[in-house]
Amino acid sequence: MALDDETESRIVEKVEYIEEAVTVLSRKQSLSLSAYLADREQQAIVEREFQTALEACIDIAELLLKSVSGSVPEANAETFAKLGQVDILSQETTAAMQEAARFRNVLAHTYGHDIDTERVYRHLQSDLHWFPTFLTEVRATLTDN
């Protein structure tokens, strides 16, 4: 895929941000559920790192789609579906990133006690793979330049 230098540079910046966020999230995996539930500050860190890392993934997806088709769907989950349709993402990664986009929406649009902290903890423990898998497939696209 041919990307202009500015687009590629923006994608690389976002990739670096995601990697930093995953490092923070990985460190938080050592928290027990009870410790996590009892510590509002830890919850806030995890929620924010997930949200912003997922937003960076969405930004990357939009940049890639604009380069391929010139347009971007309204819904974040649909953005990842389109990346799958143009063979930038595998079917498995497409489905995972659609789930991730929906999770990001929960974090972005739900506040305080309405956030299911146990659900966030479950994602912390089992879904960090979203990021390296997505980034691996994005990097493959960039190296195909």
Phi and psi torsions of 32, nearest 5°: -75, 160
Provide the residue ranges of all domains of the chain, joining segments of one domain with +.
Answer: 5-144
Contacts of 74 (CB under 8 A, 6+ apart): none
Cα–Cα distance between 47 and 73 in angstroms, integer?
A: 25
User: For 47-93, how does the pLDDT look when each residue is reduced to its tens digit (9 = 90+)?
Assistant: 999 999 999 999 999 999 998 888 889 899 999 999 999 999 999 99
User: For 90-142, how does the pLDDT look when each residue is reduced to its tens digit (9 = 90+)?
Assistant: 999 999 999 999 999 999 988 767 889 999 999 999 999 999 999 999 999 88
Q: Please state the CATH superfamily assignment of the domain spanning residues 5-144 in this structure.
A: bsu32300-like (1.20.120.580)
pTM (whole model) above 0.85: yes
- Burial of 53 per CB tally in 10 Å (0-12, 13-18, 19+): buried
